[in-house]
Amino acid sequence: MKESSVNRILGGSPEENKGLGERFEKAFRYFGEGKIYLSERDKTPDEMAIIDLANQETNNMIERFGVQPMDVPPGNIHIFSKKEYADFISEAAEDVDINKTDAIFSTGTQIIAMEDQGENLVEFTKRVLHEMYHLKSYQSVNFARKSEKRHKMRRMGMAIALRGGSADRIAFAFRDFNEALTESLSMLSLAGVMARGDLPAALSKQLEQDYGKFSYAKEMDKMSQLIELIYGKNKEKFENKWEVYKVFFKAAFSGKLLGIARLIEKTFGKGSFRELGKEL
């Protein structure tokens, strides 16, 4: 079982790469042992139970893709006030627009950070599922000597860092596609959560009333269109569209992109993998 979210480190000497790996592992342990801010509130019993359920559902899903399960300790999930969340994003040097997202997984600190959702356990569950999938997806980084963070992201799931840019501001190919893929898994897992008989009573009652909207609707629509096109041109290879989705899911969690690249280029022509990455 992985001891941090990072699968592979490149770019430094063997000693530098090893040291950075140990830094990620230490962060995974350290930031799960206590609060980041003294004012940070404790999790409720219902939230603790939801984190346990989310670990079970996400592990069940990634095991289908041939990936070892990984439990995220409750201490690695931090619930912040709006100000604390903004302070954390700034201090962790995360390239995130806090006006567009209120939850992230931070590779550098190895935590899931989110704004407090109050008594809305459905929204809390959706954010935990989404960010857990990011944490458990394939990740590779470059050792970055000139960055205070000491690392520069190369891969997270299907998102692939483009050349150039600083360690703190990186452009990714397939960035939106990766979010859509992650949110679609979160939707599937929420359905799995809803089918369980051991939900906290408050969450069960809220789910009966309304499970709200999901994020990245436009991105998921684009993803659906792409999957439809790939399936339509490769029906001899796939029994249904779900089989195409599974190819992308497996790539996001195994890190093996060659099969995806070949499938896209077979479907849309030479160079299409790179061009689609820029668009998606």
Domain boundaries, the chain: 9-279
Residue given tokens 């008989």 in the structure block: 197
Q: Angle at CA 142, nearest 5°, toward 172 and 140?
A: 65
**45-69 as b/e, with b when 16 or more CB fall inside 10 Å?**
ebbebbbebbbbbbbebbeeeebee
pLDDT for position 169? 63
pLDDT for position 22? 95
What span, in angstroms and rounded, lies between the C-alpha atoms of 230 and 253? 20
**Two tokens at 114?**
């989110």
CA 119 to chain centre: 24
The full DSSP string for 11-50 is SS-HHHHHHHHHHHHHHHHHTTSS-SSTTPPPPPHHHHHH
Sheet with 111-115: list strands edge to edge: 77-80, 111-115, 103-106
In terms of Cα–Cα distance, which of 28, 82, 81, 77 is closest to 48? Answer: 77
pLDDT for position 168? 56
Hey, what's the torsion of the CAs at 51, 63, 248, 236, to 10 degrees?
-140
Q: What is the pLDDT along the chain (280 residues), one digit of tens a residue?
A: 789 999 999 999 999 999 999 999 999 988 777 788 888 899 999 999 999 999 999 999 999 998 999 999 999 999 999 999 999 888 876 767 777 789 999 998 999 999 999 999 999 999 999 999 999 999 999 998 777 677 889 999 999 998 765 555 678 999 999 999 999 999 999 999 989 888 999 999 999 998 888 999 999 999 999 999 999 999 999 999 999 999 999 999 999 999 999 999 999 999 999 999 988 8
pLDDT for position 173? 94
**130-143 as b/e, with b when 16 or more CB fall inside 10 Å?**
bbbbbbbbbbbbbb
In terms of Cα–Cα distance, which of 186, 96, 204, 210 is closest to 135? Answer: 186
Helices (H), the chain: 14-30, 45-64, 82-91, 121-136, 175-194, 201-209, 217-233, 241-254, 258-268, 272-279
